[in-house]
Structure 1
């Protein structure tokens, strides 16, 4: 089976990090984000992965050329933004039969093998993973029949209008005949295709429990790190008092809580909570960091107070700097 990973966005909500590294290659604990998606795949059922990429394509190609994987990886460029449906259609030449589609920024516990099995038994055009949430207003919502067929597909409804609390969880199994239904050019799979085939009884809903996080914003990036850490989805690094700490880090006389610190970092006499610090960064004494993303090769001066900030790579933050929200860009 072929797999399409949708990774065509610019990752602008994680800027300025993504001005240096495409979002699929950002490190989440000891693996890149896209490798977190690959971890979901049942390798014995997969022969080819197509990454639909639209930003810094050469970086992604170079990265995968240097990996030894059990399946072929093809990076399919997206010259202009095509939407989710257009990106899938752009990969059509690589598809030979039933295929899998996964959004490229998901941290999820969905069982892909079970999804594929249920799809094959259902004999429909499309099967999608479904996850129950308290607030469905940011997602595509479905109405499900007793036999798990999707009756309606509703994109980002108001809370009072939502058909249910079951949302589209970003993983699909599709039959190649679906290409004949898809419009040409840029379009949305959710708005332009699923809404057409659901009333025809050609969509199956696969509910799963566990977790589902879209790692597209600073807050959800931290939630994704926490989810991977708590689910032991890491092979290197150490659990130190509920924090994930990579190799060659020096943490002196500091209070660190629920944070994720990559290799070769140094933290001195500071308080760090719910933050992610990328490699080769230095935090001087008497700093307070909370809900903050620190880029690579950053130096934070003494006595800084940073809350809900995303810090650019290679930044040098002066002593005493205070900031709440927004980004700190390298000067």
Structure 2
């Protein structure tokens, strides 16, 4: 089974985190999102992975190389992001048979992908509460009969999850007209397949589109909660490690540290002494969490330093961030309302009562800085010692 993984987008809703890391390569449970997608494809029986890259495609290629889990890997470049059908068309020269398509920035459960790959042509669907916000499938006698984009009167609550198994002949149908949204869309390819084939809807048990910073947090909460305990690093005798915690070889847990899982501590990271890590926290690798620091339910990316006497809660810190001593993140509004965050210039609700900050790569805070809920620090941003930051910077 040839499997096309779409990994070309810029991920503008994830800025500043996606400014120097392609969206599919952002970390979830110790690995890039796209690696979890590739794992699901391999579990389903993929015998070739074809990554469609664009924005910072070299990062994807460097990670996956020529083989991934003993499966050969090929690459195609989408020079302009003009829609999903346009992306798959960029890989057309590699496609020779029945083929699957998965989004490189979505999380799927492998069991459902196995089911989809075994019974094609097919499409992954997910039951949603508000189907009017999605492409919605019409189904009759176990077969897909139609797909309608964001209908006012949805025929079902089955949303298109963006994972497909196409017959080989669909390769010839990829040059579809541009839609009203200004994109060449795979749903138009699907419509042509429906005319000539029985298309099976396969309901996914998991589908998560990691499109905004708090969804990266949610993705880590989900997958860290499923991991098994594995202690491989150097753990001090008087440190306490409880629950589903992964500590990679090369990580060091110093005296007096408490880690309450689920948590993932990447290679080269050091925690402590006397630090407290809890609540679905990812330390990607080469992270320093220092003396008397508390980190709760956060994603802290590679090379970041939270040296001592600081608190980070429900936050996402990019790579090579440095928090000065005594930096404290507030993660709860006084009115107990949902925290808002800026996405593409608009303040929108995260849907979360507790959410801290997003710090772009290379951001730095002065000592005793306080950061209000929903603040975004842009890449390379700085704060003054003792400053209270209430607005994006």
Q: Is the TM-score greater than 0.5? A: yes
Q: Could you list the per-position Cα deviations for residues 27-49 of structure 1 after superposition, in whole angstroms to 9, with x for gaps in the alignment? A: 22222221111111246833321
Which position in structure 1 is the counterpart of 2:45?
A: 45
* Greater share of residues in helix: 1
Consecutive unaligned residues in structure 2, runs of 5 or more: 178-182, 233-244, 247-258, 332-355, 382-393
Counterpart of 1:178 in structure 2 is 170
Which moves more between the two structures, 318-327 or 229-238? 229-238
Distance (whole Å) between structure 2 residues aligned to residue 255 and residue 50 of structure 1: 38
- Counterparts in 2 of 1:289 and 1:154: CA distance versus 1, 3 Å: farther
Aligned residue for 2:62, secondary structure, equals: helix
Question: Which residue of 135, 146, 156 maps to 2:150?
Answer: 156
Counterpart Cα distance in 1 of 2:301 and 2:231: 15
Which of 298, 313, 316 aligns to 2:364? It is 316
Cα deviation for residue 15 of structure 1 reads 1.6
Distance in 1 separating the partners of 2:363 and 2:270:
19
Q: Specify the alignment match of 2:281 in structure 1.
A: 259
**1:303/1:32 CA distance change after superposition, 3 Å:** closer
Structure 1 residue 271: Cα displacement: 4.3
Q: Which has the higher contact order (CA 8 A, sep 6+)?
A: 1
Task: Report if aligned partners of 1:268, 1:286 keep a CA contact under 8 Å in 2.
Answer: yes
**Which residue of the partner structure matches residue 33 of structure 1?**
33
Alpha-carbon displacement from aligned partner over 1:293-315 (angstroms, at most 9, x marks no partner): 11122111214225442211122
Partner of 2:322: 299
Please identify the structure whose Cα radius of gyration is greater: 2
Aligned 8 A contact 1:13 1:216 in 2: yes
The RMSD of aligned alpha carbons is 2.6
Aligned residues: 320
CA distance in 1, matches of 2:297, 2:130: 23
Q: How does 1:242-281 map to 2 (within 5 A)?
A: 242-246=261-265, 247=267, 248-251=269-272, 252-254=274-276, 256-263=278-285, 264-281=287-304
Secondary structure at the aligned position of 1:96 is classed as: coil
Give CA deviations for 1:174-209 in whole Å, capped at 9, x if unaligned.
Answer: 01212333335750112x333455466642211233
| TM-score, length basis structure 1 | 0.86
1:207 to 200, 203, 207: 203
- Match in the other structure for 1:54: 54
SS in 1 for 2:114: helix
Normalised by the size of structure 2, how large is the TM-score?
0.73
Query: Helix, strand or coil for the counterpart of 1:81?
Result: coil
Question: What's the offset of the Cα at 1:56?
Answer: 0.9
